[in-house]
Chain A
Amino acid sequence: MSGLVTNGSVLLTRFVSRFNGCTKRLSSHFTYFPDNGKPIEGETTKMNMMQAINSALEITLKTDDSAVLFGEDVAFGGVFRCALGLQDKFGKERVFNTPLCEQGIAGFGIGLATAGATAIAEIQFADYIFPAFDQLVNEAAKARYRSASQFECGALTVRAPCGAVGHGGLYHSQSPEAFFSHAPGLKVVVPRGPISAKGLLLSCIRERDPCVFLEPKILYRSATEEVPDVDYTIPLGKAQVLREGDAATLVGWGTQVHVLLEVAEMARTNLGLACDVIDLQSILPWDEETVCNSVKKTGRALIAHEAPLTSGFGAELAATIQEECFLHLEAPVARVAGWDTPFPHVFEPFYLPDKWRCYQALVDLVRY
């Protein structure tokens, strides 16, 4: 897994960061590190993350007659174009708009799944998933448990664009994964790019448990990779080690993985240190084994996420690392996260746990 991300992306990196520096709006606080690894043999096509998600949805609609795709503005392709062309291919009964009501979308999806259909619901922004919180936490998560498996809604997948986008302000930037990580019965998944998005989304759709699939929206167009054309899945509940080293373990998910990959490069260049970089991928249930094995090897852990620090999912990771790796730890577990404020508009560059904040935390960690 360690060779998954190319080292040769430095050139592209420089180009992208120069380009971004010229743009007027702040649109990128990170450099994208494309995957080089192939999860499956066969033909590939260059796709951005939106196209990779579209490909996963198309495969599902083609292979599963019961599958339906719905949400606000899905019919014309979705406001992020993830459902582009699907209504033309599969009909209005299978790809359709709902009224503008998130609790209805989630409840409707649970009902479809209860009756045996594959339900792929879209919440337009993760910021607007909270009206559906009751349906997801009290209903979807508990359906199998409370009925002792007589009923379940495992065929439900709720997709929602999440994360910072440069100018999203309070309600187009949130990362709500920690809220859902406290709901036994749900699976919560965040991809880091096109290849992982397609494989993880197909896993979520076929998983026997209800899944919340959070798509970092800034990657929809900015991330491009050679994505396998065929059907493939990436296992849920498993983290991926993207880089290997012995100086520290850097853990993140979604866009933040790319920030940490750059921080690992900065540490190699500036400090001559090699770090483990782990993409957690699944927030719930999460891969304790991979994370703790890495920390036992390196003795140091840095966790970074865009969501606010207090009760962010980093807290869960830090507590578990402390519990499982106590004798191996050479320094306190470091958490670099969004500040404990709502997500601000013009202050986004100061809000995000960018590479400089993560780098300094890593320097402090290795010098402790």
Chain B
Amino acid sequence: MALRNGVSFLRLLTLRQSARLLTTHTRPELQNGGKLAEFPGAKAPYVTEMRFLDETSYDPIPIYRVLDNSGEVIDRNEEPNIDNDSLVNIYKTMAQLSQMDKILYESQRQGRISFYMTNYGEEGVQVGSAAALQPQDLVFAQYREVGVILYRGMTVTELVNQCYGNHEDPGKGRAMPVHYGSKQHNIVSISSPLATQMPQAVGAAYAFKRQANNDRVVICYFGEGAASEGDAFAALNFAATLDAPVVFLCRNNGYAISTPSSEQYRGDGIAARGPALGITTLRVDGTDTLAVYNAVKKARAFALENNKPVLVEAMNYRVGHHSTSDDSTAYRSVEEIEKWTKDESPIQKLKLYLERKGLWSDEEDKAWLKESRDNVVKTMQDAEKKQKPHWKEMLEEVYHDMPPRLQKQMQQMEQHLKKYKEHYPLNQYQSD
């Protein structure tokens, strides 16, 4: 994000409208012998030329990529050193996720679960970043990061149980579908309020930093829409001033429900905010799983070594609807969606890469898609048969110990259900 100087001025002269350039883009003469002024709030020299800065005063932050859209590595030096099994595992997780999305999306349409959100188009960011982390790293997610969760080892069965809210749901059926969480896999339970996880991630990273021989970082995922929340600014600023080893990973997929990013911000995306707050920052092609892997691997190492935050903005496109409650063709064209489904699909790109390396074939692909589809379907059939948790779970775990008033409310409900049981769906729930 270099502030344009005289050199880039010349370079850009050929590219930009001259009218815009006339007002900016020359290095002003420094006063005070180039010495910095003594204000405590900034380290800067004086000038006598008045020059306002705006979003055109800086070069746009470039997008790092490793693969082109035919799966070819562009610069051999950038090809990550990932063993073959892991590469295949990354691909299989992305494909599995896509199959799970398809089936669960359909099951919501059929009214079998109440709600669902797909991950189409963003599988590469999710799984590529997850592969670059260590299992002990703590994940704070928004909700569209199921690839991370799968790669971490939460099973399709656990995820489907959560969507059905049956008694095997690790969250005991209290939260809406796709609000996953797993202590065992270091994935903090997802909540609906956007960006609230961001300052929390900073706090967790600060706690890790204070532990002896710390080998853990925190990764915090969020969308470009959530980045408009006050909590996002709070988090970035706290992370910078308090030196927290946290990797912020923004999934900039162009839309927050129906709101295009042009109505979300006017600056150079989310990445431009990083350096402004003193945060080491990178922008990456989110459809390129290998680029995401490289970026997060490096970001993790940097954060851990320096006890400092890193911001990675992964450019993406939200191929699916926002959720099952949304029809995205109401605010964008089918052609636009098609382009990102066909030419820039992260799954397709990685598949082509694997094929070039001789690690994957069409036959294997077909077999894997069938296997993963069958796995999800069978899991769903099982999940549907399982009862929901006992109704008393509704009143448990509000506090560590149940206060007397809540105990009383439980007794009230118990008495009520004795008398009116036929009016409640008790047969779907576990009983004493």
Contact = CB atoms under 8 A, between A and B. Distances in A.
A188 interface: no
B199 interface: yes
Contact of A151 (B175, B188, B218): B188
Contact of B196 (A96, A134, A185, A285): A134
Contact of A146 (B171, B207, B404): B171
A107 B196 contact: yes
B196 A148 contact: no
A142 B196 CA distance: 13
Contact of B400 (A131, A184, A208, A286): A208
Interface string A349-365: 00000000000000000
Contacts of B379: none
B174 interface: yes
B400 A144 contact: yes
Contacts of B188: 114, 147, 151
Contact of B237 (A104, A131, A237): A104
Contacts of A146: 171, 174-175, 179, 181, 189, 191
Interface size class of B (residues with CB under 8 A): 35 or more
Nearest to A138: B193
Interface stretch (A43-51, A115-123, A195-203, A239-247): A115-123
Interface in B116-154: 138, 140
B196 A138 contact: yes
Interface string B4-35: 00000000000000000000000000000000
A109 B202 CA distance: 9
A145 B202 contact: no
B286 interface: no
Interface in B357-412: 393, 397-401, 403-406
A270 interface: no
Interface in B185-204: 188-189, 191, 193, 196, 198-204
Interface string B195-220: 01011111111111010000000100
Given A93-B210, A143-B189, A146-B191, A98 B242 contact: yes
A154 interface: yes
Contact of B241 (A98, A110, A187): A98
A318 to B, nearest CB: 16
B203 A149 contact: no
A269 interface: no
Place the interface of chain A in its size category: 35 or more
A131 B172 contact: no
Contact of B234 (A103, A119, A142): A103
B200 A139 contact: yes
Given A146-B189, A148-B174, A110 B200 contact: yes
A4 B170 CA distance: 48
B149 to A, nearest CB: 13
Given A107-B199, A114-B204, A148 B170 contact: yes
Contacts of B242: 96, 98, 108
A143 B188 CA distance: 10
A61 B430 CA distance: 45
B178 to A, nearest CB: 13
B143 to A, nearest CB: 13
B183 interface: yes
Contact of B170 (A99, A106, A150): A150
B191 A149 contact: no
B231 interface: yes
B164 to A, nearest CB: 15
A77 B201 CA distance: 27
Interface in A256-274: none
A135 to B, nearest CB: 6
Contacts of B270: none
B204 A285 contact: no
A209 interface: yes
A145 B179 CA distance: 13
A93 B208 CA distance: 12
A184 B398 contact: yes
B238 A131 contact: no
A64 interface: no
B400 A115 contact: no
A121 B231 CA distance: 16
Contacts of A184: 398
A82 B241 CA distance: 23
Interface string A58-101: 00000000101000000000000000000000000100101101
Given A114-B200, A115-B207, A148-B397, A103 B189 contact: no
Contacts of B45: none
A151 to B, nearest CB: 5
B231 A107 contact: yes
B207 A149 contact: no
B262 to A, nearest CB: 27
A57 interface: no
A207 B400 CA distance: 9
Contacts of A135: 196, 199, 231
Given A138-B191, A184-B398, A288-B405, A107 B171 contact: no
Contacts of A108: 199-200, 202-203, 206, 234, 238, 242
Contacts of A115: 138, 203-205, 207-208, 218
Contacts of A98: 238, 241-242
A143 B204 CA distance: 14
A145 B234 contact: no
A116 B400 CA distance: 15
5 contacts: A108-B234, A108-B242, A144-B400, A145-B398, A148-B171
8 pairs of A and B residues whose beta carbons are closest in the complex: A111-B203, A107-B199, A104-B234, A208-B400, A147-B189, A111-B200, A115-B207, A285-B403
